Chain A
Amino acid sequence: IAGITQAPTSQILAAGRRMTLRCTQDMRHNAMYWYRQDLGLGLRLIHYSNTAGTTGKGEVPDGYSVSRANTDDFPLTLASAVPSQTSVYFCASRMDRANTGELFFGEGSRLTVL
């Protein structure tokens, strides 16, 4: 069972470039999330999707966009990367939209913007 697969594992990117982080889950979970994790700031929610076809803004959405065309995939796009977006990005999923069930995380994508 793969769970959640993220790609790429790591990437170095020039400022101003466009980048898409991929996330795929095979658990048929309804809700999916993108977090960034930074030292001293912890996990911060970027965007979420409660079900296919819907998305919502989290705590730090600026500079990021997401789409949820189907249940399995939830890509995160940086339209024009800036150095402050250097971080480790985690995709997560949960069976239901209520914040009470177990969150399953991918292994993360480490992004460095120069």
Chain B
Amino acid sequence: TQLLEQSPQFLSIQEGENLTVYCNSSSVFSSLQWYRQEPGEGPVLLVTVVTGGEVKKLKRLTFQFGDARKDSSLHITAAQPGDTGLYLCAGVAGNNRKLIWGLGTSLAVNP
């Protein structure tokens, strides 16, 4: 059962555009992480959010954790070709604190 749904699956935009990708679940997460994976490489952590309603900024990237800790969003302002990659969310859920991965959003930013 896929507990973390990411949308959209694919996104192709022009340089300079803004975009938002989403990570949604019916489960409550104690924390949620966002990773970026470039072709031929492993995922790299961007941010960890732990508090409902929390907003974190990383340069042009803004991450938000939902108030109920069931969802999260990543907003990129003025996207650049270097933002191209697969964006993955991963949440810690349940009494066994299992790490659940979404399938990712594949982003292509065209020059």
Docked CA distance A103–B34 (Å): 11
> Which chain B positions have C-beta within 8 A of A105?
41-44
Is B19 on the interface with A (CB-CB < 8 A)?
Answer: no
Interface centre among B35, B50, B98, B101 (most CB of A within 10 A): B101
| A-side contacts of B11, CB under 8 Å | none
CA distance A107 to B88 in the complex (A): 16
- What is the number of residues of chain A that contact chain B, defined by CB distance less than 8 Å? 18
Q: Which residue of A lies closest to B41 (CB)?
A: A107
Q: Which residue of B lies closest to A102 (CB)?
A: B45
Beta-carbon contacts of B49-67 to A below 8 Å, as 1s and 0s? 0100000000000000000
Which of A12-20, A62-70, A76-84, A92-100 is near enough to bind chain B?
A: A92-100
Which residues from chain B contact A107 at a C-beta distance below 8 Å?
40-42
Chain B residue, CB-CB nearest to A98: B97
The answer to whether B92 touches A42 (Cβ under 8 A) is: no
Using CB atoms, name the residue of chain A closest to B2.
Answer: A42
**Which of A43, A99, A106 meets B98, CB within 8 Å?**
A99
Of chain B, the residue at the smallest CB distance from A48 is B99
Given contacts A99-B92, A100-B92, contact A42 B42 (CB under 8 A): no
Q: Bound complex: CA of A43 vs CA of B35, how far in Å?
A: 12
Is B48 in contact with A92, judged by CB distance below 8 angstroms?
A: no
The 8 A-B residue pairs whose C-beta atoms are closest, nearest first, are A105-B42, A42-B103, A99-B99, A102-B45, A43-B101, A99-B92, A99-B97, A90-B42
Question: Could you name 20 residue pairs across A and B whose Cβ atoms are closer than 8 Å?
Answer: A41-B103, A42-B101, A42-B103, A43-B88, A43-B101, A44-B101, A45-B99, A90-B42, A90-B43, A99-B97, A99-B98, A100-B30, A103-B33, A103-B35, A103-B43, A103-B45, A105-B41, A107-B42, A108-B40, A108-B41
